[in-house]
Structure 1
Amino acid sequence: MTDRRVVVFPSSAELGPALAELVSSRAEKVLGQGGSRFSLGLSGGSLVSMLSKELPALPNLDCSRWLVGFCDERVVPFDDPESTYGLYKSQLFPKLNIPKEHILAINHSLPVEECAEDYAHKLKQTFPDDQIPMFDMLLLGMGPDGHTCSLFPDHPILQETMKTVAPISDSPKPPPCRVTMTFPVVNAARCVVFVSTGGSKAPVLKQVLEGGVTPALPAACVSPSQGELLWLVDEPAAAALTLSVERPGPGAKL
C-alpha cells in the first residue's frame, strides 16, 4: 500500500521553498545512508521556474553526487522553448554543481521511436542492477486533463508494461513527438512528488485524489509499489477537496 500524503500550502510562494528543502533533505538522506548518488527525475512546466528559484537559494547545497534524468521530454532541439532539458540548462543547471555527465538528456536528432530506445538504453546503463530503473525521487506535474509525464488519458501507452521509455508521435498536446517514462518506471521510484498549483487544477485534482472517474486518470494511476507518494498543492488547487490533508506551519519539514 502506497503511503500517500496530501500537503496543502497557502500559495506557491510557500510551496516552492518547501519543495526545494524536501529534495535537498532526501538527497542528504540517500547519500548519508551510504548511497553513491541521489537520482532525481525532473518534469517541465511550472516546476522549472520553481526549482530554478528555490534550489539555488538553499545554503551549502552540494549536488556533485546527484544524477538527473527527465520524466518525459519533447523531441525538439534543446534551444527550442518546448525543450524541458533546454529550460533547465538555461535556468537551473548553471546554478548547481551537477556534473554534466550526470545529466541524462535525450538525443533529439533521432526519430521519436529511436529516441525513446536510446533514452531507455541510457537508463539501463545508468541503473545496471535494476530490472526497472529505480529513481530515488521523481518530481511530477499534472495537466488539466489529468495527464502526467506524457501519459495522456485514453492513450494506448497507459497499458505499456514492458518498455521503460515509450515514444509518442501523436501527443494531444503539442509538440506531437515526445518520449516518456512509463508507469513501470514511475511506480518503481522510492519517492514520487506531485506539484499542483492554481485554481484551474481544482476540479481534476479532486477527481484524481478522491476518485469517481472511470477509467482512472493517468495521474491517479501513480502509486509507487514500494515508495512514498506526496502531493504538494496550494490552497486554490485544493479548494474542492474533501479528504483529510496536511497544512504544515511556516518552516515545517516535510
Structure 2
Amino acid sequence: MTVIVVETKNQVISKLCDQIEKTAKESIERNGRFLIGISGGSLATFLTIGLPKVQTDFSKWRLFFCDERLVPVDNPDSTFGLYKRTLIDTNAVNLKDEQFVTVKQGLSAEAAAQDYAKQLTAYFPDGSVPRFDMLLLGMGPDGHTCSLFPGHALLNETSKWVASITDSPKPPPSRITLTFPVINNARVCVFAISGKEKAEMVKRILVNKEDLPSTRVKPTSGELYWIMDKEAGAYVNTS
C-alpha cells in the first residue's frame, strides 16, 4: 500500500490522474485496451476536472461501474447519468456512451447484478475472476466502499462477481456492486480523498485498521494507493 498526502484537493486530482495516465499507458501497451472501474460521489468531480488533462488514447478505454444505483439514467442518483452529463455530453474528453458498460434498466436488483456479471464475461472470457486494470474507489463516511456497507452480509460474498443489494443503508436502497474477490483481484486500486470531514474515518482505516469495508481493500497481486490532501490525512504519518 502506498499512502500519498498532498497539500490541496487540486493536487489530489493531479496525483490521481497521473496514476490513471500511467496505468492506462501500461495497459494499452500490454493489451491494447484499458479496463477501468469508476465510482460516483466526489470521484466524479475529480475526474471531470482531471481527465481532460490526461494524455491517453481514450478510444481504447472501457469503463465499468464499481457499483451503481438502480435508477433511470436521468435520475440524479444514477452514476452513469452523472458521467454522461459531466464527461460525455460536454465533450470534455473523447469518451462515447458505448464505452461505458452500463447496468440494464428495468430489472430487479438480482437480475441486474446477474446481467452485469454476464456483461463482464465479454471482457474477461476465461471464466476466472475479472482482473481490472484499475478500480477507482470511493470511501463513504461510514467506511463503505462500492455498495459494501459495514456489517452487511455482502462483505462475505465469495462466489459472485457482482452482487445485488436492496437494503442499502444509504438511499437509494437498490443497487449492484462488485464484490471483494473482484476488487482485490485488480491490478491497481485507488482511493482519492479530500476534506477534513474524511480525516476521522481515514484514521480508523489506515491508522487504527478497524475492520471496515474500505479496510478490506487489499489487492492480492496488485497495488493499492490512498491519495489524500492534508486535511483528510491529518492523522496519517507517511514518514
TM range (shorter): over 0.9
Q: What is the alpha-carbon root mean square deviation over aligned residues?
A: 1.3
Q: Contact 1:65/1:98 (CA < 8 Å) preserved in 2?
A: no
2:209 equivalent to 1:244:
no
2:5 equivalent to 1:8:
yes
1:56-205 → structure 2 map (5 Å cutoff): 56-58=52-54, 60-93=55-88, 94-205=91-202
Question: Matched residues, percent identical?
Answer: 46
Q: Distance in 1 between matches of 2:224 and 2:8?
A: 20
Partner letter of residue 62 of structure 2?
L
Counterpart of 1:55 in structure 2 is 51
Match of 2:41 among 40, 45, 57: 45
Q: Distance in 2 between matches of 1:238 and 1:17?
A: 17
Q: Distance in 2 between matches of 1:23 and 1:147?
A: 23
Partner letter of residue 217 of structure 2?
V
Q: CA deviation at 1:140?
A: 0.5
Query: What is the TM-score of this pair, normalised by structure 1?
Result: 0.90
Paired residue total: 237
Q: CA deviation at 1:52?
A: 0.9
Q: Secondary structure at the match of 1:174?
A: coil
Q: Distance in 1 between matches of 2:79 and 2:96?
A: 18
Counterpart of 2:27 in structure 1 is 30
Q: Distance in 1 between matches of 2:94 and 2:140?
A: 31
Query: What is the TM-score of this pair, normalised by structure 2?
Result: 0.95
Partner letter of residue 120 of structure 1?
A
Partner letter of residue 8 of structure 1?
V
Gap runs ≥5 in structure 1: 246-254
Q: Distance in 1 between matches of 2:98 and 2:209?
A: 44
List, as ranges, runs of 4+ consecutive aligned residues in structure 1 with deviation greater than 6 Å. none
1:197-216 → structure 2 map (5 Å cutoff): 197-213=194-210, 216=211
Q: Contact 1:12/1:197 (CA < 8 Å) preserved in 2?
A: yes
Counterpart of 2:216 in structure 1 is 221
Q: Distance in 1 between matches of 2:192 and 2:50?
A: 14
Partner letter of residue 238 of structure 2?
S
1:167-198 Cα offsets, whole Å, 9 max, x none, are: 00000000000100000000000000011111
Q: CA deviation at 1:144?
A: 1.1
Q: Distance in 1 between matches of 2:5 and 2:166?
A: 36
Q: CA deviation at 1:130?
A: 4.9
Partner letter of residue 201 of structure 1?
K
Q: Secondary structure at the match of 1:40?
A: strand
